Structure 1
């Protein structure tokens, strides 16, 4: 029953098994997925985390008898689903990188527009904000106070 339950994982991985007997008839079965020799699939860290089942031998046998509907079967299905999701995400990311690189390679750099005042930098960032040592133009000096007039906040 154990081997039949593990067949879905054996399609993608090489498996290591560890059986440990505990007190009162409790058994721990640890399944360690690994990359199969010669396999094209390169498993990610989430896929090769060990699976540990701790219960009595009779409970483990009963759960394994449920096949795909049992706990191990569901866990294997989730692992396979996770592996498929990871593969799809990696493919989508690669596709996006390729698509982004194509238009960028076809565009020619536009020459920087000359500023009317040579003290100010014509270089801007991606949002159009000026950058460089002259990015912030100097502010005019405040007007000198005039005798017999109150001070003004507006110049």
Structure 2
């Protein structure tokens, strides 16, 4: 039952397990999602947060027997949905980035080449030509 319950997470992550027996007959099962090999995207912190269940061994077995209808199954479904949403957002961001880059490249290609500056007009001389009054504006 455990592996069947975890298949949705296994499609996206590598999983680690920790089992600890408590002093009062309880058991703590901790499932630790990790980045799987070959997965290019790094998982977000919320995606790889460990899942812990503390109960008696019989209660944990009963919970796992519920499959997708149990608390663990529902939590895994929510985690998978979260992972899918994050993947969609990453893809949309990458598409927007690619579109912006293409738009910028097209804009630069469409602009005419920088014109060479025309030779500047000679600067007016500080001295007036013979017979002309001095200007206050020069």
In structure 2, runs of 5+ residues without a counterpart are 115-138
Aligned residues: 110
> 1:61 — aligned with what?
61
> 1:20 — aligned with what?
20
Alignment of 1:1-155 (within 5 A): 1-37=1-37, 39-40=38-39, 42-44=41-43, 45-107=45-107, 108=111
After superposition, what is the alpha-carbon deviation per residue over 1:37-65, rounded to whole angstroms, capped at 9, x for unaligned?
3x335341322221111122222111111
- TM-score normalised by length of structure 1: 0.62
In 1: Cα distance, 2:74 partner to 2:40 partner: 21
Q: 1:12 to 1:106 in 2, by over 3 A?
A: closer
> 1:140 — aligned with what?
none
| Cα RMSD (Å) | 2.2
More helix by share: 2
Secondary structure of 1:63's partner?
helix
